[in-house]
Amino acid sequence: MLARAGSARTVNRRYIAIFVAYKDRTWASALFVSLSAVGMALGPLLALPLSHFPTLKFAGLTFDHVRLLSSPLTFMWCFHVKLSCLNILLRWRAVRWL
């Protein structure tokens, strides 16, 4: 569905060029690079303690050292998708009532 939308860097540069004031573009680009580096550093840091957890069984699901690493990311993505859908719905309703 989003084929050829571009990489994260390309999409971010386009977003900054359109929505950020000219005087704040350098700051916004530096912030994006800094937060990307923090995300790349925290991923392995989070994976290390989670890889040593014992196997857990919860609600019929088994969380072992492989699945436990992807579980927090899955929950965060689901939360992000729900918030994005809510944001789109609220904006659509606001535009519809104008």
Rounded CA gap, 45 and 22, in Å?
Answer: 36
Looking at the structure, do residues 65 and 91 belong to the same domain, yes or no? yes
Looking at the structure, do residues 57 and 98 belong to the same domain, yes or no? yes
Looking at the structure, do residues 59 and 26 belong to the same domain, yes or no? no
What is the domain extent for residue 75? Answer: 53-98
Could you report the per-residue pLDDT of 27-54, keeping only the tens digit for each? Answer: 988 988 888 888 888 878 877 887 787 8
Looking at the structure, do residues 59 and 76 belong to the same domain, yes or no? yes
Residue 32 CB contacts under 8 Å (≥ 6 apart), including other chains: 12, 16
pTM value is 0.51
Could you report the per-residue pLDDT of 56-90, keeping only the tens digit for each? Answer: 888 888 878 777 778 778 888 899 899 988 988 88
